[in-house]
Chains A and B, each alone.
Chain A
Amino acid sequence: MAVHGPVVKIHPVVLASIADSYERRNEGASRVIGTLLGTVDKHSVEVTNCFSVPHNESEDEVAVDMEFAKNMYELHKKVSPTEVIIGWYATGFDITEHSVLIHEYYSREAVNPIHLTVDTALQSNKMNIRAYISAQMGVPGKTVGVMFTPLTVKYIYYDTERIGVGLLQRTRDAPNRAKGLTSDLCQVGGAATRVQDMLTTVLAYIEEVLSGKVQADNSVGRFLTDLVSKVPKISAEDFESMLNSNINDLLMVTYLANLTQAQIALNEKLVIL
């Protein structure tokens, strides 16, 4: 599908906030709307923050608390002065006529606002996250209509965000949907298990190729060669000495840390005497 217009890059924090504000909506409200904040680039729009705006929607009219939206934007600007209003979001599957009105309001705030829909009601068994930009259509001079053209949506993460999202994804698999934070060696163990799982998958694939069940793919083969050659070839003595010196360093540091802790505990006991 040919898409014109900027690419929309969304941070996961925005989606999480939208999901949360949907859960807190008022009685009787079928959807939630709010403002999107972020930065605009030449070819892309990066959405980094959002806040929900109270609004009332009925059959024939829609009322949005614009004062509130302006206030919130001012407050947010104090924290992150680089963020500007770049559009708005709404939960729900379709674009209604009310959306047009709201979009007009936002066109006054931002240059070319993006409209994001997040289908929280899961109408098609999926949470469709789509972005639109408005385009004028119709005969010039006569009644002009507005058409929403879809845009590509990409997700981008900061490094630390990705780690946070990784943890959330593991939480999703945990029973009770709750997970504590692990620490220490458990984490290394967890990471090692994940790598091991990936290696098992790769091995299974190789087995299948060898037994002729699956066609051998050259690009995958190249990746595999890269992978195997990544383990550096070091002579056994060199590696042994490197390993030993590293282990010695770490052990020494542990010893010193323990010593320091004992020292301050002792100092305290002496003072309290």
Chain B
Amino acid sequence: RDVAKRARMSSAASSATRAGSLNGRPGRSCIPIGPHVVLKMIKHYQEEGQGTEVVQGVLLGLVVEDRLEITNCFPFPQHTEDDADFDEVQYQMEMMRSLRHVNIDHLHVGWYQSTYYGSFVSRALLDSQFSYQHAIEESVVLIYDPIKTAQGSLSLKAYRLTPKLMEICKEKDFSAEGLKKAMIGFEHMFEEVPIVIKNSHLINVLMWELEEKSTVADKHELLNLSSSNHLEKSLQLLMDRVDDMSQDIVKYNTYSRNLSKQQQQKHQYTQRRQQENAQRQTRGEPPLPEEDISKMFKPPQPPPRMDTLLIAGQINNYCQNVKEFTSQNLGKLFLAEALQGHNS
């Protein structure tokens, strides 16, 4: 069975590299995912997720040289208040130990999370992903968007923190100077890794069986025209974020204004001092001691830039989603026009 597994891995490697490394980096080509992983994630959200709550779980798999392959996953229970003594780590350990007995890869290669209309760029996500990536360089976070999936097509994206962001998180230096030094923009926070779904031969057979046996018709939600609800929601979230952003900008503006005012004050003070000293010298008196200017004028606290970066990243994400949505809808509208044109 080991031989078969190695053969499968090498075939996966060769086919994925044939598909092309879309990021230009040789080690970062597509991540193959087993089909049952996808189904399990879908099911987990369907059964346990409600409204805006996110469901999370762990991804298991292998790391083959530079590449990652996701072969299994298991869900995390929800955090409830009455479960105070529930030990997450213990649950994870138990699960992994048990899975090892049935020959499931027990390497923790990442985690998955469901998202509500694409709002996942948050401090919590950043921290979790950082700790994962610190342990295993290749780990990813899979974001599953159930609402978009319900609209017709599976929305599953894999993200990884860019090396630049990893550096910053390691230093824990989130100030403006730190970020400026690293030249990080909101576009360089996460890099998306393309994923492919790899069916094994057995799963292929299963798919053929299901097609024969099951009578569920394709509902074609993708061609549904009335999806303005979704647009409204996305735009509302976008507006909220933009409000946050503008508040942040106001804070930053006040800070820089304070800073410049203080600089002026310092300048004036030193000038006055010098003048006085010059006068005293002419009068023959000892000069006043040089006081420590920095102690007198305490510089204002620069506002943390990390939140701004996160908000900017989130806004960017929302905008991307909205644009994708509108382009799809435009296509659908033109389709409807063609259909109507035929009739009349």
Contacts and interface: CB of A to CB of B under 8 A. Distances in A.
Interface majority SS (helix, strand, loop, mixed), chain A:
helix
B39 A12 contact: yes
Nearest to A127: B209
Interface string A30-48: 0000000000000000001
A17 B216 contact: no
Contact of A195 (B35, B153, B220): B220
A181 B22 CA distance: 13
Interface in B70-102: 71-72, 75-77, 86, 91, 94-95, 98, 101-102
Contact of B36 (A13, A187, A251): A13
B77 A78 contact: yes
B72 A20 contact: yes
B183 interface: yes
Interface string B107-133: 000000000000000000000000000
A48 B308 CA distance: 43
A250 B228 CA distance: 10
A185 B312 contact: no
A179 B153 CA distance: 14
B333 interface: yes
A99 interface: no
A239 interface: yes
Given A24-B1, A79-B77, A254 B323 contact: yes
Contact of B319 (A16, A185, A189, A261): A261
Contact of A167 (B46, B48, B197, B235): B197
B168 interface: no
B328 A184 contact: yes
A155 B48 contact: no
Contacts of A156: 216
Contacts of B38: 164, 167-168
Nearest to A180: B196
Interface stretch (B198-206, B262-270, B272-280, B287-295): B198-206
A68 B97 CA distance: 10
B154 interface: yes
Contact of B102 (A24, A185, A195): A24
A120 B332 CA distance: 42
Contact of B199 (A171, A247, A265, A268): A171
Contacts of A71: 94, 98
Contacts of B299: none
B61 interface: no
B179 A163 contact: no
Contact of A268 (B71, B312, B333): B312
B214 A155 contact: yes
A62 interface: no
Interface residues of A, number: 93
A16 B223 CA distance: 28
Contacts of B136: none
A20 B36 contact: yes
Q: Please classify the interface of chain B as helix (H, G, I), strand (E, B), loop, or mixed, using the class held by over half of its residues.
A: helix
A263 to B, nearest CB: 9
Interface in B171-223: 176, 179-180, 183, 185-187, 194-211, 213-214, 216, 218-223
B180 A164 contact: no
Nearest to B208: A172
A271 B40 contact: no
Interface in A136-185: 153, 155-169, 171-172, 176-185
A8 to B, nearest CB: 13
B207 A169 contact: yes
A177 B209 contact: no
Contacts of A253: 231, 235, 322, 326
B323 A258 contact: yes
B135 interface: no
B36 A188 contact: no
Given A12-B39, A80-B47, A247-B333, 17 more contacts: A16-B36, A19-B36, A19-B206, A20-B34, A21-B104, A68-B101, A75-B91, A75-B95, A129-B209, A164-B38, A164-B149, A165-B39, A169-B207, A181-B194, A195-B220, A247-B330, A264-B316
7 contacts: A20-B71, A162-B218, A163-B153, A165-B210, A168-B197, A239-B344, A246-B333
Interface of B: 1, 12, 15-16, 18-19, 30, 32, 34-36, 38-40, 42-48, 71-72, 75-77, 86, 91, 94-95, 98, 101-104, 146, 149-150, 152-156, 176, 179-180, 183, 185-187, 194-211, 213-214, 216, 218-223, 231, 235, 238, 242, 245, 249, 252, 305, 308, 312, 315-316, 318-319, 322-324, 326-333, 335-337, 339-340, 343-344
Interface of A: 11-13, 15-17, 19-27, 48-49, 51-54, 65, 68, 71-72, 75, 78-80, 82, 120, 122, 126-127, 129, 153, 155-169, 171-172, 176-185, 187-189, 191-192, 194-195, 231, 233-236, 239, 243, 246-247, 250-251, 253-254, 257-258, 260-261, 264-265, 267-268, 271-272
